[in-house]
């Protein structure tokens, strides 16, 4: 006589987390994101989880590395890169649904160790003989942007003929992402590096100093995010993008030095 009541109680316990609300989605998303987004996305994730209840897991690396991982079968719900070409390549490879949305913009900066052994005060000093410079690899967004910026300087007679070639002759290491550049400069293994302005965080301000690249020679990097083609939590992924583009998400990114989405 008591068996039906016991069964009903067990069923009630099993259904307690959400039975009857029709929501069977996985309350977690995985985001593949460019290394330059590490600190900002950490704060974004905290606010997003508090707002939505959806937990966020990240994999941070260089944009081409993340895109290649997706192309080779890695699973994620979102891909956020430091440039638009990598999203376009991901779209052509069929690993994202569309070109996504630009959620922020970034700029370049030169960084030097706190004691500035290379005596770098302006970008022109990067061509000084014997200077040890670290850049991101070609095809990594920060590396391509840095070379584009140097090309702009070389086109200005004020820098002297062959300026970009003289600077590139000082490159002692090419890294897979901007965080590796920051580490080398922090450790004094290089006199300078070219990274994003957002990489000069409060946590490294005692070890690294930024040298501004004037607007005429700087690059404004577009940062897009796209939902992957096989996203396990499509609704959660779309909600994360909406949060990034919201006033709250934009304010967080701005606090970390990013420029607002256009």
Q: What is the pLDDT of residues 106-148, one digit of tens each?
A: 999 999 999 999 999 999 999 999 999 999 999 999 999 999 9
Q: 21-25, 98-102, 112-116, 258-262: lowest mean pLDDT where?
A: 21-25
**The pLDDT of residue 241 is above 60:** yes
Q: Which pLDDT value is given to residue 210?
A: 96
Q: Which pLDDT value is given to residue 195?
A: 98
Q: Which pLDDT value is given to residue 26?
A: 55
* pLDDT band, very low/low/confident/very high, at 18 (cuts 50, 70, 90): very low
**The pLDDT of residue 50 is above 90:** yes
Q: Which pLDDT value is given to residue 205?
A: 82
Q: Half-sphere exposure of 258 toward its Cβ, with a 13 Å CA cutoff?
A: 28
Residue ranges and CATH numbers for the domains of the chain are: 26-105+223-260 (3.40.190.10), 108-211 (3.40.190.10)
Please tell me whether the overall predicted TM-score, pTM, comes out greater than 0.75 for this model: yes
**The pLDDT of residue 64 is above 90:** yes
Q: Where are the beta strands (DSSP E) in 154-249?
A: 171-175, 192-196, 208-211, 221-227
Phi/psi of residue 12, nearest 5 degrees: -65, -40
Rounded mean pLDDT, 244-252: 98
Rounded CA-CA distance 194/42 in Å is: 23
Q: Which two tokens stand for residue 173?
A: 């290491």
The pairing of strands 101-106 and 259-260 is: antiparallel
Rounded mean pLDDT, 204-228: 96
Residue 80 near residue 34, CB atoms below 8 Å: yes
> b/e for 7-26, b at 16 or more Cβ within 10 A?
eeeeeeeeeeeeeeeeeeee
Query: In this predicted model, what pLDDT tens digit does every residue of 158-196 receive, in sequence order?
Result: 999 899 999 999 999 999 999 999 999 999 999 999 999
Query: In this predicted model, what pLDDT tens digit does every residue of 3-15 receive, in sequence order?
Result: 454 444 444 444 4
Q: Which residues contact 34 (CB under 8 A, 6 or more apart)?
A: 60, 61, 62, 63, 66, 80, 81, 82, 141, 177, 223
Q: What is the helix (H) or strand (E) element at residue 260, kind and residue range?
A: strand 259-260
Q: Which residues contact 42 (CB under 8 A, 6 or more apart)?
A: 58
Q: Please give the mean pLDDT across all residues of the chain.
A: 91
**The pLDDT of residue 43 is above 90:** yes
Distances, alpha carbon 243 to alpha carbons 47, 52, 105, 186, 237, in Å: 9, 9, 16, 33, 10
Q: Which pLDDT value is given to residue 52?
A: 96
Q: Which two tokens stand for residue 243?
A: 């949060």
Give 121's DSSP letter.
-
Q: Half-sphere exposure of 205 toward its Cβ, with a 13 Å CA cutoff?
A: 5
Rounded mean pLDDT, 206-234: 97
């Amino acid at each position: 006589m008591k068996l039906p009541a016991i069964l009903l109680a067990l069923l009630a316990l099993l259904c307690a987390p959400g039975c009857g609300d029709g929501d069977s989605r996985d309350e977690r998303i995985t985001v593949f994101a460019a290394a330059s987004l590490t600190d900002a996305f950490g704060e974004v994730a905290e606010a997003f989880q508090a707002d939505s209840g959806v937990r966020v897991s990240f994999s941070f690396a260089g944009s081409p590395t993340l895109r290649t991982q997706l192309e080779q079968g890695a699973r994620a719900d979102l891909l956020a890169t430091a440039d638009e070409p990598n999203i376009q390549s991901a779209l052509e490879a069929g690993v994202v649904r569309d070109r996504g949305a630009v959620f922020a913009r970034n700029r370049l900066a030169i960084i030097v160790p706190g004691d500035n052994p290379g005596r770098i005060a302006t970008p022109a000093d990067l061509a000084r003989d014997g200077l040890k410079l670290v850049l991101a690899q070609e095809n990594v967004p920060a590396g391509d942007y840095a070379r584009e910026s140097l090309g702009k300087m070389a086109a200005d007679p004020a820098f002297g003929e062959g300026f970009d070639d003289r600077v590139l002759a000082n490159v002692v290491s090419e890294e897979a992402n901007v965080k590796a550049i920051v580490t080398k400069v922090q450790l004094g293994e290089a006199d300078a590096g070219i990274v994003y302005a957002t990489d000069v965080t409060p946590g490294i301000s005692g070890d690294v100093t930024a040298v501004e690249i004037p607007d005429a020679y700087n690059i404004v990097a577009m940062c897009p995010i796209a939902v992957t083609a096989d996203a396990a939590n499509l609704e959660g992924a779309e909600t994360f993008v909406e949060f990034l583009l919201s006033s709250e998400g934009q304010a967080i990114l701005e606090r970390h030095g990013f420029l607002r989405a256009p």
